[in-house]
Structure 1
């Protein structure tokens, strides 16, 4: 069997989270208005631990840094940090980190009548149909995308 390499437009650097210390940070209790500011309120501060807020399955979670532009229309851009949970079952429409023919990529999963596809969110890239010839694995489901405001 000959496996041809498919260029999917996105490469990932993967990291495991460090849970050795909690990460409690203050959070405004009343929220932040994206409309008109409200008059001064009590400004009560609560504590939020980002490890607990963003990660449901610590043993099955890892991070990946995005390299590429195949998912820009889904709000995933070059340099973004993905939170990926390997314990979540893949389903149609989910954004997933997949291993295909020797490389990691992030795409939307699409189950169609004629098979499984990995769908980019950038018209410059083509969908990838997964066949028996591909070495393929859904590595995990993207639960959060972290990036700086643009």
Structure 2
């Protein structure tokens, strides 16, 4: 999955709090009556843990579909989260930006795994240039 565009959150922006209903819904939406509102929720607060270390990227392609990432999704990336085994990462391999699952089963030979049977894994060798830019913390997937 290639990265199409990179965005930064508005650091000065104040989060908007949207009503959060206390009941989970099976199918449908609860009555918008104020009595049902239990709390409020800011998507900024939910999706952005460290604003100064966060950026957004728009995904392109379908190599990460089994991880729930589809073409056109917006990924929230946090540079302050350590890139550890099995994390979804934004990486540059030999200058190409990718979103893959990091496999550190053998730390001497990291592998970037696709989440689709149609794409091969990327096994890094001594000549490969790898730079991890951050860890995917949230996927915004339009319906």
TM-score range, shorter chain: 0.7 to 0.9
Structure 1 gaps of 5+ residues are: 1-8
Q: How does 1:78-117 map to 2 (within 5 A)?
A: 78-113=71-106, 115-117=109-111
Distance 1:79 1:40 in 2: 31
How does the TM-score come out when normalised to structure 1? Answer: 0.83
Gaps of 5+ in 2: none
- Distance in 1 separating the partners of 2:59 and 2:29: 34
Q: Normalization by structure 2: what TM-score?
A: 0.87
CA shift, 1:35, in A, is 6.0
Q: Which runs of 4+ in 1 moved over 4 A?
A: 35-41
The alpha carbon displacement at 1:22 in A equals 1.3
Aligned to 1:68: 61
Q: CA RMSD in A?
A: 2.3
The match for 2:4 among 12, 20, 24 is 12
Q: What is residue 23 of structure 1 aligned with on the other side?
A: 15
Distance in 1 between residues matched to 2:30 and 2:72, nearest whole Å: 34
